[in-house]
Amino acid sequence: MEKEFKGTVLNGFLMLFVVLIMCFGSIAMFVLAGLEMIPLWTLALSITAFIVSFFLMPGFVKLEPNEASVMVFFGKYEGTFSQTGYYWANPFLSKKAVSLRARNLNVDPIKVNDKEGNPILIGLVLVWKLKDSYKAMFEIDSQTLAAASAAAAGQVGTSQVASRMRAFENFVKVQSDAALRSVAALYSYDDNDGNTDEATLRGGADEVNQVLLDKLNERLEMAGLSVVEARINYLAYTPEIAAVMLRRQQATAIISAREKIVEGAVSMVKMALDKLSDDGVVELDNDQKARMVSNLLVVLCADESAQPVVNASGENR
């Protein structure tokens, strides 16, 4: 598990001053000894000081806010140092810098099957960060991944931190694809089958996003990575069934609209009959009421405006 580095850490600027004094002082002593201005035995002292100054130089470490350095002493994990600033530590420690800052990852849409077996395209965007530096460095093969990432980038001067974080990002991407497939299989695309109580990918965003977040954190726990937020940002049917599903949605919308129209028409017809009866405008027998109801329903439910026909003969038709 991750632990804080307890080794000796000195001010970097002070040690830089000491190293520079040793380096340039040894050079000056070497020159003076060569000119026989000082005893020759100082020549060995100057060479020793010069070599020691070079051994001290790898001990410097500089950390910006939200950065940390994993300290390893000949293969043994000594702790994680995360104090911001310029410091000096044991030069024989291997210092592996990592970033603790939050990072975005936009996962390209992938083709999966929903709960009903329909092929869909789904993508997500997530915010992740490094939570446990020990797990991130030693529980997964981040070193090999970082080397491969740097080689793939092909950029001279690419920092080890950037390569290492790119390796972590690739790990998150692979796991996010697996988690997204798992979550998509738990829900239907929409509620075309009429089960409105069940959450869907299209209609239950809050529940789906929370399940996705839990799945991602469960998978990334072993790598010491944490997902702060995960949301589905792309959802669509695959091209081969998109046209069919569009017609299905249109048919559902038309049926729903017709139900509303019929419900309103029946209400209006009932209101008209009650109004005529209550105001005593006309007395209608059952046959006349049936014809009136039929005519009104045809007029109110028709897609086009009805063409009135005036009965000039005064006969019932």
> 262 pLDDT exceeds 50?
yes
CA dist., res. 120 & res. 239, Å (int): 9
Worst-scoring range by mean pLDDT, 29-43, 88-102, 106-120, 266-280?
A: 29-43
- Confidence (pLDDT) at 40: 61
Across residues 14-33, what is the average pLDDT?
Answer: 84
Closest CA to 144 of 122, 175, 166: 166
- Confidence (pLDDT) at 143: 62
CA dist., res. 200 & res. 195, Å (int): 10
- Confidence (pLDDT) at 93: 92
Across residues 252-268, what is the average pLDDT?
Answer: 79
Worst-scoring range by mean pLDDT, 188-202, 211-225, 230-244?
A: 188-202
- Confidence (pLDDT) at 247: 72
CA dist., res. 26 & res. 13, Å (int): 20
> 236 pLDDT exceeds 80?
yes
Name the more confident of 299 and 104: 104
> 13 pLDDT exceeds 80?
yes
> 253 pLDDT exceeds 60?
yes
Which fold would CATH assign to domain 103-237? Tetrahydropterin Synthase; Chain A (3.30.479)
Which tokens in the block code for residue 18? Answer: 């000491």
Across residues 119-148, what is the average pLDDT?
Answer: 83
CA dist., res. 183 & res. 199, Å (int): 12
pLDDT band at 317 (very low <50, low <70, confident <90, very high): very low
> 310 pLDDT exceeds 60?
no
User: Mean pLDDT for the chain?
Assistant: 81
Q: Residue 204 in contact with residue 184, Cβ under 8 Å?
A: no
Across residues 73-82, what is the average pLDDT?
Answer: 92
Worst-scoring range by mean pLDDT, 100-104, 174-178, 265-269?
A: 265-269
The contacts of residue 184 (CB under 8 Å, 6+ apart) are 112, 113, 114, 120, 122, 201
Name the more confident of 305 and 201: 201
- Confidence (pLDDT) at 157: 41
- Confidence (pLDDT) at 306: 61
DSSP string, the chain: ---B--S-EEEHHHHHHHHHHHHHHHHHHHHHHHTTSS-THHHHHHHHHHHHHHHHGGGEEEE-TTEEEEEEETTEEEEEE---EEEEE-TTEEEEEEE-S-EEEEEEEEEEE-TT--EEEEEEEEEEEE--HHHHHHTS-HHHHHHHHHHHHT-TT--HHHHHHHHHHHHHHHHHHHHHHHHHTTSBSS-TTS-TTS-BTTT-HHHHHHHHHHHHHHHHGGGTEEEEEEEEEEEEE-HHHHHHHHHHHHHHHHHHHHHHHHHHHHHHHHHHHHHHHHHTS----HHHHHHHHHHHHHHHH-SS--------S----
Worst-scoring range by mean pLDDT, 64-73, 74-83, 113-122, 189-198?
A: 189-198
